[in-house]
Amino acid sequence: MIEPARLHMQHDPTIAKAGSIASFGVALSYLASSVCAVLMPPELQGRPDVAPHQFWMVLCQDPLAHLGFHWSWVAAGFFGLGAVPAISLVVWSRNRGAVLWSAAAAFCGFAVLARSHLMEVAFDRRIIPQYPHADRAFQQAVQVVAGLALDVPDGVFTYGAIGVWVVTVSWLGHQARLLPSPLCVLGYATGLTYFAGVLGYTFLVHWLLVLSIGVGGFLLAPIWYAWLGFILRERAAPHGASAHAGQPS
């Protein structure tokens, strides 16, 4: 039997409403990051044949989409911190331990995501005005330290940890019929694109990054988070808890 206080927490309309807004924010942020990635000059899109000096010279000439890409990930990180608790509560009753640990991993992932890209923005904005006119020693130093973020190896937290949580939520929601089956299947596919990002960044496999950022970031993840945003919005509505919004018919 679920204690009344715990049941109230699971169906708290305030948490659901905030989580709904945050989920929509994550979806829009992922879309924005993908759009910015497409708008970047080809030299800035992670191509392995582009030398570091060429990358920086192109970045200094056309930084807008690159900086927009980083700001989009910063927004995704902050919105993710608000979405994780509300989404996790939807499947909390199925397996509290799995939800707790996977949500903790997702918290780390979204926090590292925001912090890492804030560092990237701060570094780039400081270096861009100076790099084209700097001496060779300065340029080489920039090339060495650029991109050193908190998530090392790249993607373990920002892709891997969040991916584990997405798959866990989808799996538990599917098992207990707490979420629509198509949404859960979408969650499995989204999780795979997160894991593709880990492998792509770790082993520098370009097509895996295209799969993760293009298919996952532009299509699957935004749909998954937006769908959950609508489910949470229904739970936040009057009598939403008694209607069990989000359960398959």
Name the residue range of residue 208's domain: 4-240
**Burial (Cβ within 10 Å: 0-12, 13-18, ≥19) of residue 2:** exposed
179 located within any domain: yes
Please give the average per-residue pLDDT across 115-125, as a whole number. Answer: 93
44 located within any domain: yes
141 located within any domain: yes
Return the pLDDT at 152.
62
**pLDDT confidence of 150, banded at 50, 70, 90?**
low
47 located within any domain: yes
Q: Over 50: is that where the pLDDT of 1 sits?
A: no
Whole-structure pTM value: 0.89
**pLDDT confidence of 131, banded at 50, 70, 90?**
very high
Number of structural domains the chain divides into: 1
Q: Over 50: is that where the pLDDT of 148 sits?
A: yes
**pLDDT confidence of 10, banded at 50, 70, 90?**
low
Interval 21-35: pLDDT, tens = 999 999 999 999 999
Return the pLDDT at 226.
99
245 located within any domain: no
Interval 178-205: pLDDT, tens = 999 999 999 999 999 999 999 998 888 8
**pLDDT confidence of 68, banded at 50, 70, 90?**
very high
247 located within any domain: no
177 located within any domain: yes
